[in-house]
């Protein structure tokens, strides 16, 4: 261990509460990676389990003084390698900062520590008759701080918006340990630059979020659910365009293609029709209007050869949604896959889904597609055998080709999972040279010594990405 690191760790041991600083190699190894498979990760020097903004501030002040890289971590459900360790870094976990500080039912706003789990919070506000809509499929594990740091989306974002739409203010510890409070708790407010949303989605590269002020909504009404099967994905996508253009705002509109249905069926037989090329699941939570919304959905589906079933029974509706929720676990059970996350204008979704299969054929790999269809956000999962180096190589090329396709169709390389390590090389394509320069300038202003999650989002200037991250490990 280097002298500089020894000195820094001794300072942290003296200043942090008992048990907060961990150097046990087994614990460090267990915290090395998030859930993105095949992303590089290095060997951390230490893990700090912060319990307060003061703890976070001490860690950053010390790391800044000694120029030691720090990787912020929460639940490590990330799918882009953003929380992966960097060689010789301090992992700074906010998972134990898990207190809901305030739920204000009058102003419909809440203040939470960054480590509060999304589902715990959503249930707590529901008990007060309120609603926190952003619902990433990882909601039972992922934290509100991690959701803010990645600007997470989810199933009902098609109607209510993503995490950024609910974040009103933050407490952020900057790279030098100073504590910044951004934003407001009021419904309106335009004082100064919008620093809050500079940090939302910054993936731990600009500061460490320790508290989040979140807007809430009145509880939504129980939704009605419909499912419709189509001969082709193109037909399903046409329904998505027509239904959304119709002025209806579904509270959920998800698509699965045939290869996804096959993966789910292999995991659990849910009785998908064998001849269906795609399925749409939709919900409306507009109370008395919901039945009419779903009738409209069924009518539009019929125009595109779709066969829709509206479920009046909440238990049956829950079963339909279960199929969608099983996609992640069913895909993970197959072993190795790379998860793309492209988002295109809705009108381009059909072309995207079709051309993803061209990519699959061209690279000799299997790609399944599941989409937050109402948002134009497609998750093509590139499946491969990790024991076959040739397949691994082809899968990586297919993964990149899908991002190129998303950009060609006027979209973005990532709708909700973030850039992390996985999509860094494509980000420069999306941002262009001026965009990259502005990103670098902002990063340099807030983190002049480059200690915060270096090599994530943008490769650290003057280094090769893999040299920063360390060696390649699987999640």
Ligand X SMILES: Cc1cc2nc3c(=O)[nH]c(=O)nc-3n(C[C@H](O)[C@H](O)[C@H](O)COP(=O)(O)OP(=O)(O)OC[C@H]3O[C@@H](n4cnc5c(N)ncnc54)[C@H](O)[C@@H]3O)c2cc1C
3-state secondary structure the chain: CCHHHHHHHHHHHHHCCCCCEECCHHHHHHCCCCCCCCEEECCCCEEEECCCHHHHHHHHHHHHHHCCCEEEECCCCCCCCCCCCCCCCEEEECCCCCCEEEEECCCCEEEEECCCEHHHHHHHHHHCCEECCCCCCCCCCCEHHHHHHHCCCCCCHHHHCCHHHCEEEEEEECCCCCEEEEECCCCCCCCCCCHHHHHCCCCCCCCEEEEEEEECEECCCCCEEEEEEECCHHHHHHHHHHHHHCCCCCCEEEEEEHHHHHHHHHHCCCCCCCCCCEEEEEEECCHHHHHHHHHHHHHHHHHCCCEEEEECCHHHHHHHHHHHHHHHHHHHCCCEEEECECECCHHHHHHHHHHHHHHHHHHCCEEEEEEEHHHCEEEEEEEECCCCHHHHHHHHHHHHHHHHHHHHCCCECECCCCCCCCCHHHHHHHHHHHHHHHHHHHHHHHCCCCCECCCCCCCCCCCCHHHHHCEEECC
Q: Which is nearer to ligand X, 147 or 368 (CB)?
A: 147
Task: Kindly tell me which of 94 and 236 has the beta carbon lying closer to ligand X.
Answer: 94
Smallest distance from ligand X to CB 82, Å: 3
The yes or no reply on residue 64 touching ligand X (CB under 6 A) is no
**Near ligand X by CB under 6 A: residue from 48, 60, 70, 75:** 75
Q: By C-beta, is 309 or 465 nearer to ligand X?
A: 465
Q: According to CB under 6 A, which residues from 85 to 104 bind ligand X?
A: 94
Instruction: Point out the residue whose Cβ comes nearest to ligand X.
Output: 146
Stretch near ligand X under the rule CB under 6 A, chosen from 14-22, 132-140, 288-296, 424-432: 132-140
Q: Using the rule CB under 6 A, which residue among 8, 45, 59, 83 binds ligand X? A: 83
Of the candidate spans 68-76, 182-190, 225-233, 458-466, the one that interacts with ligand X by CB under 6 A turns out to be: 68-76
Q: Which is nearer to ligand X, 175 or 365 (CB)?
A: 175
Shortest Å distance, C-beta 159 to ligand X: 15
Q: Which is nearer to ligand X, 150 or 412 (CB)?
A: 150
**Among the listed residues 108, 122, 137, 182, the single contact to ligand X using CB under 6 A:** 137
Residue 138 binds to ligand X (criterion: CB under 6 A): yes
Q: Taking CB under 6 A as the criterion, which residues in 180-219 touch ligand X?
A: 203-204, 208-209
Contact 374, 325 (CB under 8 A): no
Residue 174 binds to ligand X (criterion: CB under 6 A): no
Stretch that binds ligand X, among 37-45, 141-149, 382-390, 434-442 (CB under 6 A): 141-149
Please pick, from the candidates 32, 76, 346, 424, the single residue that binds ligand X as defined by CB under 6 A.
76
The answer to whether residue 259 forms part of the interface with ligand X (CB under 6 A) is no
Among 416, 426, 447, 459, binds ligand X (CB under 6 A): 416
User: Smaller CB distance to ligand X: residue 207 or 277?
Assistant: 207
Question: How many residues bind to ligand X according to rule CB under 6 A?
Answer: 38
Contacting range for ligand X; rule: CB under 6 A; set: 70-78, 175-183, 218-226, 459-467:
70-78
User: For binding to ligand X (CB under 6 A), which residues are involved?
Assistant: 34-35, 71-79, 82-83, 94, 114, 136-138, 142-143, 145-147, 149-150, 152-154, 203-204, 208-209, 328, 416-417, 420, 453, 456
């Amino acid at each position: 261990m280097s002298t500089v690191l020894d000195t820094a760790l001794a300072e942290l041991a003296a200043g942090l509460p008992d048990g907060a600083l961990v150097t046990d190699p087994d614990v460090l190894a267990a915290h090395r990676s998030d859930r993105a498979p095949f992303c590089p990760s290095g060997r951390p020097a230490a893990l700090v389990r912060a319990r307060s903004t003061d703890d976070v501030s001490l860690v950053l002040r010390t790391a800044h003084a000694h120029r030691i890289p720090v990787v912020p971590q929460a639940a490590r459900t990330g799918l882009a390698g953003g929380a992966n360790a960097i060689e010789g870094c301090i992992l700074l976990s906010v998972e134990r900062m898990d207190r809901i500080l305030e739920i204000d039912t009058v102003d419909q706003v809440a203040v939470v520590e960054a480590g509060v789990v999304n589902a715990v919070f959503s249930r707590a506000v529901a008990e007060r008759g309120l609603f926190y809509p952003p619902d990433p499929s990882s909601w039972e594990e992922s934290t509100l701080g991690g959701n803010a740091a990645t600007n997470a989306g989810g199933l009902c974002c098609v109607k209510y918006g993503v995490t950024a739409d609910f974040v009103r203010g933050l407490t952020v510890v900057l790279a030098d340990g100073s504590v910044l409070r951004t934003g407001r708790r009021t419904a309106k407010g335009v004082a100064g630059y919008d620093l809050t949303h500079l940090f939302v989605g910054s993936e731990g590269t600009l500061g460490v979020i320790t508290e989040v002020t979140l807007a809430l909504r009145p509880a939504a009404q129980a939704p009605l659910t419909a499912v419709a099967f189509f001969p082709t994905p193109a037909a399903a996508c046409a329904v998505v365009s027509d239904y959304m253009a119709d002025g209806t705002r579904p509270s959920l509109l998800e698509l699965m293609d045939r290869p996804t249905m096959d993966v789910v069926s292999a995991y659990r037989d849910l009785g998908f029709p064998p001849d269906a090329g795609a399925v749409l699941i939709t919900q409306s939570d507009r109370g008395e209007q919901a039945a009419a919304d779903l009738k409209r959905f069924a009518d539009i589906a019929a125009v595109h050869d779709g066969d829709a079933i509206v479920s009046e029974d909440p238990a049956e509706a829950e079963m339909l949604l279960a199929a969608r929720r099983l996609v992640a676990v069913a895909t993970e059970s197959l072993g190795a896959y790379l998860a793309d996350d492209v988002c295109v204008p809705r009108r381009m979704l059909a072309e995207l889904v079709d051309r993803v299969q061209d990519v699959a054929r061209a690279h000799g790999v299997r790609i399944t597609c599941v989409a937050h269809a109402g948002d134009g956000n497609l998750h093509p999962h590139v499946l491969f055998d990790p024991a076959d180096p040739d397949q691994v190589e082809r899968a990586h090329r297919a993964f990149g080709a899908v991002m190129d396709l998303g950009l060609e169709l006027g979209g973005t390389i990532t709708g909700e999972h973030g850039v992390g390590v996985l999509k860094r090389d494509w980000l420069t394509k999306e941002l262009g040279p001026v965009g990259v320069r502005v990103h670098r300038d902002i990063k340099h202003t807030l983190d002049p010594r480059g200690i915060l999650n270096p090599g994530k989002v943008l490769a650290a200037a003057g280094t090769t990405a893999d040299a920063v991250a360390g060696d390649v490990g699987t999640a």
